[in-house]
Amino acid sequence: MIRVDGQGNGKSLIQVRGLSKTYRRGGEEIQVLQRLNLDVDKGDFVGFMGPSGSGKTTLLNLLGGLDVPTQGSITVDGDEITHMSGSKLTQWRARHVGFIFQMYNLIPVLTAFQNVELPLLLTKLSKAERRKHVETALSVVGLTNRMDHYPRQLSGGQEQRVTIARAIVSDPTFLLCDEPTGDLDRKSADDIMALIEELVANHGKTVLMVTHDAMVAARAHTTLHLDKGVLVEASKLEQGVVAGGVA
Amino acid sequence: MKFGSLIFANLFRKKIRLILTIGSFAISLILFTFLAVVYSAFNRGIEIAGADRLVIENRVGLMLTMPVSYADQVRAIPGVKYVTHDHWFGGVYQEEKNFFPQFVIDPENHLKVYPEFVVPDDQWNTFVKDQQGVIAGAKTAKRFGWKVGDRIPIKNSLYGPTKTWELNLDGIYHAKTADGDESQFWLQWKNFDENVPAAVKSTAGWYILRLDSPDDAVRVAKAIDAKYANSSWETKTETESAFQAGFAKQFGNIEFLILSIGSVVFFTLLLVTGNTMAISVRERISELAVLKAIGVRDGSVLFMVLAESMLIAFFGGVFGLLLAWAAIPAMSAKLAGFLPPLILSKTLLSFGLLFAVFVGVTSGLIPGIGAMRMRVVNALRRV
């Protein structure tokens, strides 16, 4: 169950409490997120929508441990990450977060196999074990036959599949997707969304996704809107309800 | 090294840039190595100078001589083991460009003072008996294709009207150590003394003494200079290394010149490689951000950048040193007579490689630290 009222039972996989983020730009303080609450259970698939500058990517960066909040806390699987040191946070990211970016961000000089293998280089797995994991991840995204191809030899949709394989190869606690279909045509976008749905449905992955596309957002279990730094559940947005439990 | 494949892949990402950077490194290393061997050649005399040897010269300078009778007087000073005397001959073989150091020596004592030179006994005995005899260093003999028994004409205009001295090559000497000087040419003092103008007769250009112990050097030097103080031929006695250093300085401040050019080479190389690495890191800032996002530590990012710049420097260094290794013997042959023999020793090769790696690490440091400190969020926003 996804809640944005801060009244969760304390057993959620991700618990966000009173999260605020303020940027200082040219002497002016810009409050991007305001005392935001969020509870996400294991296996949930949540989409975040909102206008540009509403704080969607900032929220994703905070949840992924790439940025630190001005106030509030984020607890993932029992670990409070907001007070972790830089190096601890790096280790935590390697273990718990799988990132999927809009621009794929693959390393162009590495093959699909080598790109997917990257997160495993941070583990103690042997070469043979790494190979097995990479082949499994690539088979999940349907690219076993392209493992020796370089990113320039792949289509946009295939590149994004490699990115997804890289995100899931180390079996992270949750996946963060920042506009995963933003750079793809409709057909490829549908394929990628089907793949993400499959990861949630068949592999029990927890996915948090930012998107501008209402059709893409509609495929999430729940869509939350970010408006003026506050999370609003989509169905209640029209009714003007700002906080509450969402089934 | 788990990130080895990524480091190598990045290294060969822009092949033309890599080749140009390695090329600039190699060219600079050749220049650096050439400077180093020239510097080493000028200082070799100082490095191999015997710790137990003193040199006496005329207080006014090397152009003036001293009576040859000083030899016996100096030998009588306690602590002096052997005394020999030399004279600069300064002749020319066939053409002006065929220059090499020629010394008039005292055969009786020369090898006692310079045990580092070896002449086969039969050749030495012939030389001692032959007033027109000469001994040539192995390098000089090889340079001109001389063999023992050859007649060698040396043209000289330092002592009276220009005259060709017809000399017999009685022997060839070798140095006991690899870096020993094998370019000298020794003439008999008796032959010289009989054929020079009266003003030069019975004189020595300088004396070289071997001591019982290096500890006696200061006392003996003071005793000699005190003995001839206020005489017509006052002396200046110093250790052989000090004498060699003074001799090298006559060519100008070689050390300053070489250090200046070497510094320019170093900083140019630093800027070229630093710039290459900075561009290289800037081009893949988003890739580095992704690496950090997926959990690669800051230290590993720094290591990857440093390893890359170090590898460029290493390959450039090895390539440059190989070229220098091939070119220096040819350069040495061309410059023979103008410069002492140029020797690229193992020490210099190792130093050259260390220098290259040091430049590589230093030039990668600033872009590497920049990549290490980069905030993932800011870098991803630029994409």
Encode pLDDT of A110-144 as tens digits.
Answer: 999 999 999 999 999 999 999 999 999 999 999 99
Query: Rounded CA gap, B71 and B213, in Å?
Result: 19
Q: Which residues of A touch B286 (CB under 8 A)?
A: 103, 105
Query: Rounded CA gap, B44 and B38, in Å?
Result: 10
- Structure tokens, B217: 């050097």
Number of domains in chain A: 1
Q: Which residues of B touch A95 (CB under 8 A)?
A: 295
Give the residue on A whose Cα is nearest the Cα of B14: A109
Interface test with B, best of A122, A127, A178 (most B CBs within 10 A): A122
Average pLDDT for runs of 10 along chain A of length 247: 78 92 86 92 93 89 94 94 92 94 90 96 94 95 94 94 95 93 89 93 93 90 88 62 41
User: At A227, which helix (H) or strand (E)?
Assistant: strand A222-227
Interface test with B, best of A61, A115, A179 (most B CBs within 10 A): A61
pLDDT at A165: 95
The residue ranking higher by pLDDT, B200 or A232, is: B200
The closest alpha carbon to A175, from A203, A142, A202, A209, belongs to A209
3-state secondary structure A6-58: CCCCCCCCEEEEEEEEEEEECCEEEEEEEEEEEEECCCCEEEEECCCCCCHHH
Q: How much is the average pLDDT of B254-282?
A: 85
Give the residue on B whose Cα is nearest the Cα of A64: B293
Backbone angles phi and psi of B232, in degrees to 5: -70, -25
Give the residue on B whose Cα is nearest the Cα of A107: B287
Q: Cα dist. B177→A130, B35, B48, B116 in Å?
A: 57, 23, 10, 8
Q: Which residues of B touch A130 (CB under 8 A)?
A: none
Give the residue on B whose Cα is nearest the Cα of A62: B377
SS3 A205: coil
Q: Angle formed by the axes of helices B15-48 and B240-249, to 10°?
A: 130
User: In terms of residues, how long is chain B?
Assistant: 383
Q: Any CB–CB contact under 8 A between A87 and chain B?
A: yes
Q: Angle formed by the axes of helices A156-168 and A186-203, to 10°?
A: 20
pLDDT at B179: 73
Q: Any CB–CB contact under 8 A between A118 and chain B?
A: yes
Which ipTM did the prediction report? 0.89
Interface test with B, best of A93, A152, A168 (most B CBs within 10 A): A93
Q: Which of A66, A87, A105 comes nearest B297 by C-beta?
A: A87
> Diameter of chain B by CA atoms?
92
pLDDT at B221: 92
Contact A91, B295 (CB under 8 A): yes
Encode pLDDT of B67-76 as tens digits.
Answer: 999 999 999 9
> Poorest-confidence range of A242-246, B21-25, B306-310, B374-378?
A242-246
What CATH number did the domain enclosing A94 receive? 3.40.50.300
- The upper half-sphere exposure of residue B95, i.e. CA atoms within 13 Å in the direction of its Cβ, equals 4
pLDDT band, very low/low/confident/very high, at B383 (cuts 50, 70, 90)? very low
> Poorest-confidence range of A102-116, B174-188, B224-238, B324-338?
B324-338
Encode pLDDT of B35-46 as tens digits.
Answer: 888 887 777 665
DSSP state at residue A3: E
Test A105 with B12 for CB contact under 8 angstroms: no
Backbone angles phi and psi of A210, in degrees to 5: -105, 135
Domain range for A51: 2-246
Test A122 with B296 for CB contact under 8 angstroms: yes
> Poorest-confidence range of A23-32, B85-94, B200-209?
A23-32
Domain spans of chain B? 4-45+253-381, 60-233
Query: Rounded CA gap, A148 and A136, in Å?
Result: 15
Encode pLDDT of B314-362 as tens digits.
Answer: 999 999 999 999 998 888 777 765 666 788 888 888 988 898 889 899 9
